[in-house]
Structure 1
């Protein structure tokens, strides 16, 4: 087979056969092509990157791949190798005889991706547009039909090519039957089958019966793989002979396994053996190739918006495509689910259903909710109920009943074995992964190993850098443990798989893996994250830790990481964990990740959270990974000077505290501080902890300080300056990376109820900005020479969203007019003209504006403004009277949350507050305030997430070199070359201000203030 099609000479005029070619019996000299359509759909989908039809956003990459393959077979094959007969064979999404034989057959197969499901019917339309037979029969798989057609064609001495790379079809290969993998332009004949299975094609079934198949849930014989199975079949001839003589086998485990599982092996053979005697509904003679109706084909291709293929077909057919209208049915989706000739509608669809009427669909998830046409019987039962939520429940129950079998996990110690897993992952098109590290810092961690999972209980671990105990000065100084692949070789083999945009990688906090792999030159592409699926569904409602989720969904307790590595002085790094234990832990993690994604994906659809996950969560993974790797520079000298200043301040405050207390004190001792405040000084209002000690929490000290007590106020001052010193000025230099010489924070996406990101190691989001000391720390964050730091900050975004969501006309107009919102509020409340307004009056209005968002009380406002509580209460009352819509918004939000347990942002994110009905009044009150604020804070978080996912492309489009370094709540920090600052600022502002569109159109304009300077504080 040539590696590429020969260059065309003068193009022959196309043949013009009749509209319907007469049936032609294939014989010697004819070439019958049988395309395994069902598997090819998935291969086309995973081989091509996402491609969306511009007119409606429908993903059509699998349709394009399929059409290109058909055109290649019909036109680009060498003249002497083109098909004379051709059919596309599909699976029917119904139970076959194999399910009746073995109910768990294919019971754990992964479902089709949501964005592939709508393409199934379009591909069948494509086949018809090419004027090719589109074959499927009730009760049989595509492989059985292919086997039958191949037998019939072979009996007539025709040449047969099966277009597929599926190993299950390799049993059909003979001197007349070959397989052809169009993706790799590779022929599979008898030698290739022997290379893969170790036996000729006629013995493949015997090997598969022993080895089983985890993808299809064919049981086989536990402990026997393909290699061992091949050796046994070569020695004993066939399965029955082997089972008859199993007692002669010397290896005890193998002998016992064969004897105990003999019936499973026999059932497995029946499952993998293809039925080549199907009573065909469409005769072989009807598969004769005929020239397609060019106009009909072009109409279909134009409807799909495949411009290149449309041009190729038009040129070949000598037809002007401009004269042909797109097929209206396929353009609108109306004919996609037209009733097929059998009169049966696709599974899961109601009368009159169209492409966008899938069960449970919402406008935000159009075209993504159809049940998988290749789904297992349990999935189909759920889809017939019309609810993806039911599908999730069915899958969860099935996986709960499927025990985790750690004995099936494999340790991969050789490159050939790893390549075999990589090949299986390519065939599957999706797999779960979990890379293990010897550090919590992905920027400096070594990769200890990588776990892969293809199906439940079908997982492996590839150790790369585990140490062996014994020898040397210390317990773990003896070098690497044996039977590990060299890390460089393993990563080189894995790199094409991990970087393939056509193969889905499912992880759990996969950003950590992405950052770590990027340090080794691997860019992780096309990822899903089971943790983020859980977060999109249940933020605020449940823990999103892997152990918690597996316990919740499957009733399974995973191996405890803490117990694996220990604690204290004896705590191990992961490379010191024994490989067998590391395999059990890591492969189980990958297995659980795979299972979780299988349960959570349909929940996203059923609960209308697909858009939240796909637009606000998943795209941010790679954006944040790049930001984390960039890091930011700090000025150590600035931090050193500040550390000295803070130390002097702390010492001064400590001396003042001892003078007030009248005795030596340990300021860092909560117990002693509590005894002085509530015991010696007798200040009322104290509460005790469970241990019986006085509580000196920040909240209690704040309340006492606001009441005018000097000692608690000084304690808070000491704690604040001590925290700044220990957390930032002393600690930040320790975070400087030895190679990049920059500080690299780590962002957590699934950490808050509202969608806000959190930052840790180091936490750069908690640096105080309202105190002079906090602002001083920001001065230590600097631009590299020749660059500036740009800070772009949303101005009063939560107040703007309050005006929008609560629909307060006067506030909305004020923002539209660009007024000073705090001065306007003061003018509305106190009747003071905006011009020449006293600063104190504006300050009070500002405190009320921001306080209302967070549910401030009269007590809190009184303390903040230093006024009597009655006066503060009157201010709040007047505020609500002047802006009644705000009180209505708060009441409606609170009532909605009490009824539903959650509130939603403008973008559909659900923020759950299950304790809003708590019997404890303080807990209930806290949740009410949080729920009211969550709609505003959560919408603001969603907006900046949308801006971040668009920012890099927008900068690249303008050929700007700016790099996004940090996100701090409503602010983004960039590093920009000096010469590009002027051009960068408007791009950044435009992207941030337009971030809500087109999903949400705000009537209140967003304002972004962007400035450039040499350090963060000056730029803010």
Structure 2
């Protein structure tokens, strides 16, 4: 007789994991089903791949068990399940029965105790056990015929994996958990001891009892850890009783009754059909069964399958050039429930480009290219392709996977195809996981995660004068390149998406980064109107002023020279004028960058200051006054910038083509440029700007009572700081004193040094140092925050914003002191700048619904760091400003209030 093999599914654990791993989805009646879908997918795969004899799914019967009698605190503080998950508990049990699998639970015991008891009983009967879970609480059972299978990653977990992760054997996991505790379940453990410390103690002393005895007897060396062990010895013993699983629970269902039995096709079909799980029905071959229910009144939402990476080869790929091939691929996409999509175009500018082809992938190694706009080769009519693809793009039961979805959605819309929904974006998934650690381009991620270097664009189109448009690339070469992109995108999705929950980045990705894509799409499509005539006049104005400055400079020097030549300028400054402090670059030329000129200007030299003035006007003239004229769309007379989401390590958006985020804020020239951005006829612009948001975040994250009190009482924070640090009364304070405090307040955020503050305020280094020392003496919490943040960054390689975004700081361990110091300043600022970026993104995601609910005809046009710019009819502008202010101020709950200042005007300058 063959050996029995029992598979035990940790149903309760998997429900929560699937719920958080998969995006929200509902069935036709509105009931949430994402956890149910993940569970059904997992069970389908198990039944297909499992070659054993017995199977059961084990659930928790309730929240109260025998452990609550051991310690009433146990799981007492666990929050209630999310509202969207509650109705899915019963549905998962119904799903289990529909698959003809026993669903087992027992009052007074947790699912883990039942799993342990069934495992013990099967071992006693000479059988083997596979536990489908990744819960560390079950790892104590591993060995001697018991193994685990991670249901999300489809990877095996055995004693070796436990040792690798926790540094102990499965048999030692009980004592290790007793030391570590578990804050989620209110298992107290020993304060200050984590996985690493627990492993060290167990490997040195053997058992929990031996560890506690060594601590209390004095044989353990004196240390904080020893003191903690003595103080929390009883907590450790209680914790051991809480984490140790019962292996002798009376089995609610005999093992023989768990033998795998075939399911009833009709019962399973009806259950899957009621949930809208078309892809699972197709995989099980149940599509052909007649429905016993009426047609659904609404389509199901997207079903996101649980998938794993693959060693399938990259290519060869198929070219879709016949209607039959297209129909076959459409059927495959519908059956699979997801598809990776990439577009090929004539230009990287989404507004100017033309669609040349679309690539599709439904499995690793299974990808194809659909040519549409090549100059030669067999291609299907666009009308036919659009008719077939449009339903796929809008089908809520099919997940569309992109890399940089915003670009592809622009391209598809320009080709008269509908916006794809729902979708995932592998670029944004990577960014949510590891902002600042590396780039997030597809090719870079492919090398990093898949160990595969994709075909480059240059290889296909050529370079320089030999480059051809993608439309001129032969279809066979285009297929190899384009289909590979879709294949890589799919594999990246399989690899990266499960990591979101592990890194606690799932909410950040789903509700913020992915949720922002349709908002940015609408903003980029809207654009903003500019006054062409005013730009031309501005260009002339800047040119006249540059000429005046040039004449002044030539008088100072005594002869004419090319102001745009760094070489000539260096020879004049350090050769002819013999100014001190010059430094030569690697090429041997004198350094004349902005920092060098600013240092000379602060030393009292007039020429460097005038050169800086000239350069500033030259940059503004070329970057804005001249360049914006060429960026005006001939159809709507508006400028359409593009926002990049996955660049800045802090989560900030960046603007390009044109860049509208670097317009000077506090200068008259910056105001002059903003004046050229105007409202459409009959409309007004509304500027809504967070007030001192990074200082407010500093008060919040560093927990500074004095600063928090100032913000809560709506005081002048800079006057308050001046009063606290310099000992002067707030009443009648002069502007210079307040400006010094303001410089310190904002400089501290960026890790300003005494040297930097001295240069900024025009004082000597000693005085600047006294200011900073007085500041830290009054606000010691800031020094503590800075030290703690630097230490955290050195330990982990990243810092975390108040909203869970990890901002990686690669140079934090650099051996070069200057580079390391720069990285440390980045680390200190990143939680604040990143927190501000998170807050305004949260507001942007919420605004469309708030605008729709208000009934106002307002739209978001621009985002510039802490400011949002809106457009609305003139008579609706005050109400629009109120909506903007309300949503932005409620975007986050801090220990200090968020304040938004809103202005209305005919142009951006007046509204700002």
TM-score surpassing 0.5?
Answer: yes
- How far did residue 383 of structure 1 move? 13
8 A Cα contact 1:518 1:524, kept in partner: no
State how 1:839-988 maps to structure 2 within 5 Å.
Answer: 839-988=735-884
Q: 1:488 aligns with which of 379, 383, 403?
A: 383
Distance (Å, rounded) in 1 between the aligned partners of 2:744 and 2:769: 11
Determine whether 1:50 maps to 2:18. Answer: no
Determine whether 1:819 maps to 2:727. Answer: no
Distance (Å, rounded) in 2 between the aligned partners of 1:689 and 1:577: 44
- How far did residue 923 of structure 1 move? 0.8
- How far did residue 1017 of structure 1 move? 0.9
- How far did residue 664 of structure 1 move? 2.8
- For residue 466 of structure 1, what is the aligned residue in structure 2? 374
Distance (Å, rounded) in 2 between the aligned partners of 1:867 and 1:856: 14
Distance (Å, rounded) in 1 between the aligned partners of 2:459 and 2:598: 40
Determine whether 1:612 maps to 2:508. Answer: yes
Distance (Å, rounded) in 2 between the aligned partners of 1:791 and 1:736: 22
Shifted more, 687-696 versus 854-863: the winner is 687-696
Determine whether 1:500 maps to 2:395. Answer: yes
Determine whether 1:746 maps to 2:642. Answer: yes
- How far did residue 663 of structure 1 move? 3.3
Determine whether 1:456 maps to 2:456. Answer: no
- For residue 667 of structure 2, what is the aligned residue in structure 1? 771
- For residue 33 of structure 2, what is the aligned residue in structure 1? 60
Determine whether 1:516 maps to 2:411. Answer: yes
Q: 2:317 aligns with which of 393, 396, 409?
A: 409
State how 1:372-411 maps to structure 2 within 5 Å.
Answer: 373=151, 376=154, 378=155, 402-404=312-314, 406=315, 408-411=316-319
Structure 2: tracts of 5 or more residues without a match: 1-14, 53-82, 120-128, 143-147, 168-306
- How far did residue 628 of structure 1 move? 0.8
Distance (Å, rounded) in 2 between the aligned partners of 1:605 and 1:383: 24
Determine whether 1:425 maps to 2:390. Answer: no
- CA distance change for structure 1 residues 815 and 461 in 2, over 3 Å: closer, same or farther? same
Note the alpha carbon deviations across 1:857-887, whole angstroms, 9 max, x for none.
2222222222223222221121111111111
- How far did residue 346 of structure 1 move? 5.6
Does the residue aligned with 2:536 lie in a helix, a strand or coil? Answer: helix
Distance (Å, rounded) in 1 between the aligned partners of 2:848 and 2:101: 46
Note the alpha carbon deviations across 1:805-828, whole angstroms, 9 max, x for none.
111111100000011111111111
- How far did residue 692 of structure 1 move? 2.7
Distance (Å, rounded) in 2 between the aligned partners of 1:957 and 1:338: 50
- For residue 232 of structure 2, what is the aligned residue in structure 1? none
Does the residue aligned with 1:622 lie in a helix, a strand or coil? Answer: helix
Aligned residues: CA RMSD: 3.8
- CA distance change for structure 1 residues 1011 and 491 in 2, over 3 Å: closer, same or farther? same
Determine whether 1:598 maps to 2:494. Answer: yes
- For residue 1018 of structure 1, what is the aligned residue in structure 2? 910
- For residue 736 of structure 1, what is the aligned residue in structure 2? 632
- For residue 65 of structure 2, what is the aligned residue in structure 1? none
- For residue 292 of structure 1, what is the aligned residue in structure 2? none
Note the alpha carbon deviations across 1:156-210, whole angstroms, 9 max, x for none.
xxxxxxxxxxxxxxxxxxxxxxxxxxxxxxxxxxxxxxxxxxxxxxxxxxxxxxx
Distance (Å, rounded) in 2 between the aligned partners of 1:1004 and 1:962: 29
- For residue 800 of structure 1, what is the aligned residue in structure 2? 696
- CA distance change for structure 1 residues 118 and 665 in 2, over 3 Å: closer, same or farther? farther
- How far did residue 626 of structure 1 move? 1.3
Distance (Å, rounded) in 1 between the aligned partners of 2:86 and 2:895: 35
Q: 1:586 aligns with which of 482, 485, 498?
A: 482
- How far did residue 605 of structure 1 move? 2.1
- For residue 135 of structure 1, what is the aligned residue in structure 2? 100
8 A Cα contact 2:386 2:417, kept in partner: no
Distance (Å, rounded) in 2 between the aligned partners of 1:936 and 1:497: 42
State how 1:207-246 maps to structure 2 within 5 Å.
Answer: none
TM-score (norm 2): 0.71
- CA distance change for structure 1 residues 774 and 133 in 2, over 3 Å: closer, same or farther? closer
- How far did residue 568 of structure 1 move? 3.4
Q: How many residues align?
A: 705
- For residue 12 of structure 2, what is the aligned residue in structure 1? none
Distance (Å, rounded) in 2 between the aligned partners of 1:632 and 1:383: 59
8 A Cα contact 1:49 1:502, kept in partner: no
Does the residue aligned with 1:769 lie in a helix, a strand or coil? Answer: coil
- For residue 92 of structure 1, what is the aligned residue in structure 2? 46
- How far did residue 960 of structure 1 move? 1.9
Determine whether 1:831 maps to 2:616. Answer: no
Determine whether 1:572 maps to 2:468. Answer: yes
Distance (Å, rounded) in 2 between the aligned partners of 1:895 and 1:594: 38
State how 1:104-253 maps to structure 2 within 5 Å.
Answer: 123-127=91-95, 134-135=99-100
Q: 1:781 aligns with which of 674, 677, 682?
A: 677
- How far did residue 456 of structure 1 move? 1.6
8 A Cα contact 2:798 2:809, kept in partner: yes
- CA distance change for structure 1 residues 854 and 65 in 2, over 3 Å: closer, same or farther? closer
- How far did residue 1019 of structure 1 move? 0.7
Does the residue aligned with 1:731 lie in a helix, a strand or coil? Answer: helix
- For residue 688 of structure 1, what is the aligned residue in structure 2? 584
- CA distance change for structure 1 residues 134 and 569 in 2, over 3 Å: closer, same or farther? closer
8 A Cα contact 1:63 1:119, kept in partner: no
Distance (Å, rounded) in 2 between the aligned partners of 1:993 and 1:865: 33
8 A Cα contact 2:688 2:900, kept in partner: yes
- CA distance change for structure 1 residues 93 and 969 in 2, over 3 Å: closer, same or farther? farther
- For residue 347 of structure 1, what is the aligned residue in structure 2? 132
Structure 1: tracts of 5 or more residues without a match: 1-40, 68-87, 99-114, 138-299, 301-326, 360-369, 391-396, 468-480
Distance (Å, rounded) in 1 between the aligned partners of 2:109 and 2:396: 27
Determine whether 1:1007 maps to 2:899. Answer: yes
- How far did residue 642 of structure 1 move? 0.6
Does the residue aligned with 1:135 lie in a helix, a strand or coil? Answer: coil
Does the residue aligned with 2:424 lie in a helix, a strand or coil? Answer: strand
State how 1:208-357 maps to structure 2 within 5 Å.
Answer: 347-348=132-133, 350=135
Q: 2:887 aligns with which of 959, 983, 991?
A: 991
Does the residue aligned with 1:540 lie in a helix, a strand or coil? Answer: coil
- How far did residue 670 of structure 1 move? 1.9
Distance (Å, rounded) in 2 between the aligned partners of 1:761 and 1:979: 32
Distance (Å, rounded) in 2 between the aligned partners of 1:58 and 1:693: 70
Does the residue aligned with 1:859 lie in a helix, a strand or coil? Answer: helix
- For residue 149 of structure 1, what is the aligned residue in structure 2? none
- For residue 206 of structure 2, what is the aligned residue in structure 1? none
8 A Cα contact 2:436 2:808, kept in partner: yes
Shifted more, 332-341 versus 569-578: the winner is 332-341
8 A Cα contact 1:117 1:371, kept in partner: no
8 A Cα contact 2:343 2:357, kept in partner: yes
Higher Cα Rg: structure 1 or 2? Answer: 1
- CA distance change for structure 1 residues 64 and 779 in 2, over 3 Å: closer, same or farther? same
- CA distance change for structure 1 residues 116 and 585 in 2, over 3 Å: closer, same or farther? farther
- CA distance change for structure 1 residues 857 and 603 in 2, over 3 Å: closer, same or farther? same
- CA distance change for structure 1 residues 374 and 751 in 2, over 3 Å: closer, same or farther? closer
- CA distance change for structure 1 residues 133 and 336 in 2, over 3 Å: closer, same or farther? farther
Distance (Å, rounded) in 1 between the aligned partners of 2:419 and 2:405: 12
Distance (Å, rounded) in 1 between the aligned partners of 2:149 and 2:515: 25
8 A Cα contact 1:754 1:937, kept in partner: yes
Distance (Å, rounded) in 2 between the aligned partners of 1:371 and 1:850: 52
- How far did residue 539 of structure 1 move? 1.3
